[in-house]
A and B are shown apart, each in its own frame.
Chain A
């Protein structure tokens, strides 16, 4: 189990809580409507290209948050204007656009793009101009070496060690604990990074790794891979998948009349996997789901309802708020609280405040004083049950009545 407690000075925790309460909890009557010159916050998202499926979720989350923030007190009493550009899922385009946002559009602040490679590209530009950059989807924390880069998602500094152990704990708690595992992964860097961690931690804990396979990102045919998995017949299949790859793997296995005993999927497209006929009981990584205890967090119910409304309007087939959307919400919550608490748009002051204080977001209380500015890891496991994702592990994060269903 992960240790989720830390010896933090009470004063700092209180400072963050007070900031969050002031921002999220204060009644509208005591808040003045923001006025004056807008604070320009620039960022890119992969609105086209191979990452566009997820970036559209981040875009909707950003729109909700800008409306929310402007409905409160904006940044330092000024309205927020979000300058969003399309990086086309290309790191080189992201790099050029961040340069443009800072030097041509003269934005006051920046927000991180989506996915590890564009984030790394943007981080280089941010570092050159000393800008604070908050991101929610960099799967390899050790690459976040810039001291003003902050994670909005609680991966923790070493998710390749901590998260496999969460999964292995869950496996050990199954009625018949899996003794063998096949690790199958995309060569997409963040997935490969986690897969190597899973292989190493499984071996350390005595789970036999029958097969470790890597496939190219964008692989078209999973027939032969499925045949290898079927022949090996592991107790547990761990798939370092992105987007639709999980669906493709499971469909290919079904065509061979084989259903894995237990399967885990790292970063799949949540909607298609939950709704797929092959998705029943599959496991997946998450940080929260629209269920208890997460819905009791401040503002969460309203955010979930707003997201559903906007996602439905945008014609998205899966309109439920999830960890992806919450990553972007968390980015904006951190920026809002940090700017208003630091009382400045100065990046140095914002970064200094973040390093000393906790921030309460939809992901709970986050801190940024650990290695690579990461705090505690809080990655959970969810499972498809009746076409819906339910958090099942660790058990204290499962909604009342929800239990892990093992094979």
Chain B
């Protein structure tokens, strides 16, 4: 039987790992839920941001927060450009899946051409720092990531609920024609959401650069679990995405501590199937 310390530590690790799932799911959930575009290149954009953070940090010795100040706006612009293509060619939900997959593959190859397939690690003095709380250890970077993800999810949720733009976006997602009849310019607002989604990928990428070792093929590492998180958290629901991320992360981690670590991937997808069958009203 695992000890209380082991279970507590596993829970902390899982919730913090879930913060990354939630942060990656945030932009994807917005684009899928509000624009009806499934953006698989979201993961490639996050890794592009991670590599740029790595490059700025290792070659030019730019601190990660300054890198983020440069990389995140650049990602926002890439998001706008990407949406211009979707808009120009009237891409629908299914086609978006294929087009963004191709875009992700192209980005993967481009990353490999410039940074090679070899592993890249951005070593920082704080990469393995932890705070001790009783018998538990809380990694500082992962905790910061969770706090940032929490602020973004809460802020976006409030923005969607309280502001005119947010309400207009939600109305358009419900029924674009009716929303247009009330004067909502959905096309312009869609650019904003696309830019925001890419910017969130940029923020996730900055943390990936600090936490993980980079390799081009790792673009696909989070794909399955983040898709599960987006669906469990409900499309277009930023707080749902974060909560689902933490729930899946914690469940995986507890499974690793109590059962066998090999059971962890089964947990997220079993949870997805169970929730889809159950379909609780609170979701």
Interface residues of A (CB under 8 A from B): 47-50, 52-53, 55-56, 89, 187, 213-216, 218-221, 223-228, 231, 243-244, 247-248, 251-252, 254-257, 269, 271-272, 275-278, 314-318
Quick check: A53 and B9 within 8 Å, CB to CB?
A: no
Quick check: B119 and A317 within 8 Å, CB to CB?
A: yes
Contacts of B12 on A, CB cut-off 8 Å? 223
Please pick, from A215, A228, A276, the residue contacting B6 in the complex, using a CB distance under 8 A: A228
- Beyond A215-B262, A216-B265, A220-B225, whether A272 also contacts B10 by CB under 8 A is no
- Beyond A49-B217, A220-B17, whether A228 also contacts B264 by CB under 8 A is no
Q: Which of B219-254 contact A (CB under 8 A)?
A: 221-222, 225, 249, 252-254
A89 to B264: give the CA distance in the assembly, Å.
24
The distance from the CB of B121 to the nearest CB of chain A, in whole angstroms, is 6
Interface residues of B (CB under 8 A from A): 2-3, 5-6, 9-10, 12-14, 16-17, 108-109, 112, 115-121, 123, 127-128, 130, 132, 137, 139, 213, 215-218, 221-222, 225, 249, 252-254, 256-257, 260-262, 264-265
A213 to B6: give the CA distance in the assembly, Å.
15
Quick check: B130 and A50 within 8 Å, CB to CB?
A: no
- Give 6 A-B pairs besides A221-B14, A255-B128, A255-B130 with Cβ atoms closer than 8 angstroms: A53-B215, A215-B264, A221-B17, A224-B13, A225-B261, A272-B121
Quick check: A255 and B137 within 8 Å, CB to CB?
A: yes
Quick check: A187 and B262 within 8 Å, CB to CB?
A: yes
Please pick, from A213, A224, A226, A314, the residue contacting B116 in the complex, using a CB distance under 8 A: A314
Please pick, from A50, A231, A243, the residue contacting B5 in the complex, using a CB distance under 8 A: A231
Quick check: B6 and A56 within 8 Å, CB to CB?
A: no
Contacts of B117 on A, CB cut-off 8 Å? 47-48, 52-53, 55-56
Quick check: B217 and A214 within 8 Å, CB to CB?
A: no
Please pick, from A223, A248, A275, A277, the residue contacting B13 in the complex, using a CB distance under 8 A: A223
29 A-B pairs with C-beta separation under 8 A: A48-B109, A50-B218, A52-B112, A52-B117, A53-B117, A187-B262, A213-B260, A214-B260, A215-B256, A216-B264, A219-B264, A221-B17, A223-B9, A223-B10, A223-B12, A223-B16, A224-B10, A224-B13, A224-B261, A227-B6, A227-B10, A228-B256, A247-B213, A255-B137, A256-B130, A257-B132, A272-B121, A315-B116, A316-B116
Interface centre among A89, A221, A251, A276 (most CB of B within 10 A): A221
Please pick, from B6, B132, B261, the residue contacting A216 in the complex, using a CB distance under 8 A: B261
Quick check: B14 and A251 within 8 Å, CB to CB?
A: no
Specify the chain A residue showing the minimal Cβ separation from B220: A50
The distance from the CB of A45 to the nearest CB of chain B, in whole angstroms, is 11
- Beyond A214-B261, A225-B256, A243-B119, whether A50 also contacts B14 by CB under 8 A is no
Contacts of A277 on B, CB cut-off 8 Å? 123, 128
Quick check: A224 and B217 within 8 Å, CB to CB?
A: no
Specify the chain B residue showing the minimal Cβ separation from A253: B128
A254 to B137: give the CA distance in the assembly, Å.
10
Specify the chain B residue showing the minimal Cβ separation from A272: B119
Specify the chain B residue showing the minimal Cβ separation from A215: B261
A126 to B227: give the CA distance in the assembly, Å.
39
Quick check: A216 and B262 within 8 Å, CB to CB?
A: yes
Quick check: A214 and B215 within 8 Å, CB to CB?
A: no
Quick check: A244 and B119 within 8 Å, CB to CB?
A: yes
Quick check: B217 and A52 within 8 Å, CB to CB?
A: yes
Across the A-B interface, the 3 shortest Cβ-Cβ residue pairs: A223-B13, A52-B117, A215-B261
